[in-house]
Amino acid sequence: MIILIGYLGDALFRATRIPEILILMLIGIILVPLGHLVPDRYVEVLRLFAPLFGSIALVIIMFDGGRKIDFGSLTASALGLLMGLLDILLPMFVIALIMNYLFGWPYIYGAMLGTIVGETTAVVIVPVASRIKIPSDLYNLAVTEATFNSVVEILIFYLLLVLITGSSFTPQSYAKYVVDYLSVAVFMGLVVGFLWLFALNVLKGTRGYVATIGVAFLLYGVVDYLGGAAVVSILIFAMIIGNYRAIGQHLNLFIDIHEKDMEIVEGELEFIVRTFFFVFIGMIALLSFTYFIYSLVITMFLLLIRYIEVRAMIKKEYRGFVFSLLPRGLTVAVLSSILYSMGGTYFNDIFYLSFMVIILTNIIASAAISRSAHSLEKSIETGKESPSNGSSD
């Protein structure tokens, strides 16, 4: 049923250009909160599967994001990387202050909310950037930012979660825990990454791309069992796999991972996970005027942060388009669902507010992207024509 709903959402997106995220969440809302078409016992079954799908989603997001971080073009992508970092850090601090001042939230929970809703979704942004005729530097900026902010968001999320759930930590013990937490992950990611490159060098002509994704899931499980930061190990592993050509040249290895085939497998897994999460969130959503007002305030501040960030860092002709790349998506849904499954007043509030922010930012972005993309394409065409016009005068 979930897969059929996913294909329905994709078909409606192609027909109407309404973001697929909104369609899937609306289907979920119609099925349960509004229509009560799905019995509660089935919703509870889906709730049990949420942590499993959450782990799958995190592996896919981190593997895809890490694989696209090219060592050779880090300098060229510096602006996108910086914006991806600021996308998370600025909302983390601002939303923490706003939620404390306006609604009396503890700073740590406000910071967690700001971290979660700071991400801009590559699920929407990458297809949009691919479809529109834009300069390559702008495309690279958009893709790098959307990919990297998901990575930063997940890393900070887990560091904050450790701080929230480990109430007995002193500053010294927390620092020691974080070092241990990260060192296990970095060590395992490096070891497994390089060992797998050597294995791929031996396994020529096989379906190494399928096995590579399988190794990523196995690595996640082992590091999590050892008490390390599993998502960090996936990031390190993915960066090694993503740069296999450069590393292979230095190590005298001849590797062919069949990246296009790997992306197909990744895409199908992401399709199932994405469909599950957005329909699931719609099913368990709490339609509340209070949450709507809270999320509206949060969204307004997110827009203000985005405006300041873009105005300070992006050249004038690109600002409108880059500003419009603000929809929240899969990573927000996954991380807020993890908190929801843990329970607790603030964690539940973060989930419901994140749900509303996803809806609001996608509605705003769908209108803004269409308008700004048209203006950008027009200005680019004008720029191409202006030299010839100038020479004829």
Please write the tens of the pLDDT for every residue from 192-201.
999 999 888 8
* Euclidean distance between CA atoms 96 and 111, whole angstroms: 5
* Euclidean distance between CA atoms 237 and 281, whole angstroms: 30
Q: Quick check: is 347 in a domain?
A: yes
**Closest of 330, 220, 329, 326 to residue 269, by C-alpha:** 330
Q: Quick check: is 235 in a domain?
A: yes
Q: What is the pLDDT of residue 389?
A: 47
Q: What is the pLDDT of residue 9?
A: 81
Q: What is the pLDDT of residue 52?
A: 81
Q: Quick check: is 16 in a domain?
A: no
Q: Quick check: is 335 in a domain?
A: yes
Residues in the chain where the model's pLDDT stays below 50: 388-393
* Euclidean distance between CA atoms 256 and 224, whole angstroms: 29
Q: What is the pLDDT of residue 385?
A: 56
Q: Residue 109 corresponds to which amino acid?
A: Y
Q: Quick check: is 32 in a domain?
A: no
Q: What is the pLDDT of residue 205?
A: 61
Three-class DSSP category at 362 = helix
H-helix or E-strand spanning residue 97 = helix 78-103
**Closest of 335, 319, 227 to residue 281, by C-alpha:** 335
- Going by C-beta distance under 8 Å and a sequence separation of 6 or more, which residues neighbour residue 346? 105, 106, 109, 112
Q: What is the pLDDT of residue 132?
A: 75
The count of domains in the chain is: 1
Half-sphere exposure of 202 (CA within 13 A, CB side): 5
Q: Provide the domain limits for residue 74.
A: 53-380
**CA separation, residue 161 to residues 154, 185, 359 (Å):** 10, 17, 25
pTM equals: 0.86
CATH code of the domain covering residue 346? 1.20.1530.20
Three-class DSSP category at 287 = coil
* Euclidean distance between CA atoms 263 and 307, whole angstroms: 33
Q: Quick check: is 18 in a domain?
A: no
Per DSSP, 73 falls in state G
Sort 224 into a burial class: Cβ within 10 Å, 0-12 / 13-18 / 19+. middle
Render pLDDT for 103-140 as a digit per residue (tens, 0 to 9).
Answer: 999 999 999 999 999 999 887 787 777 777 788 888 88
- Token pair belonging to 121: 């979704």
Beta carbons of 158 and 62 less than 8 angstroms apart:
no
Q: Quick check: is 153 in a domain?
A: yes
Q: Quick check: is 278 in a domain?
A: yes
Q: What is the pLDDT of residue 77?
A: 77
Q: What is the pLDDT of residue 254?
A: 78
Place of tokens 């109430």: 167
* Euclidean distance between CA atoms 341 and 354, whole angstroms: 14
**CA separation, residue 340 to residues 73, 120, 374 (Å):** 38, 21, 39
* Euclidean distance between CA atoms 360 and 137, whole angstroms: 29
* Euclidean distance between CA atoms 251 and 246, whole angstroms: 9
**CA separation, residue 198 to residues 113, 213, 244, 246, 248 (Å):** 41, 16, 10, 14, 9
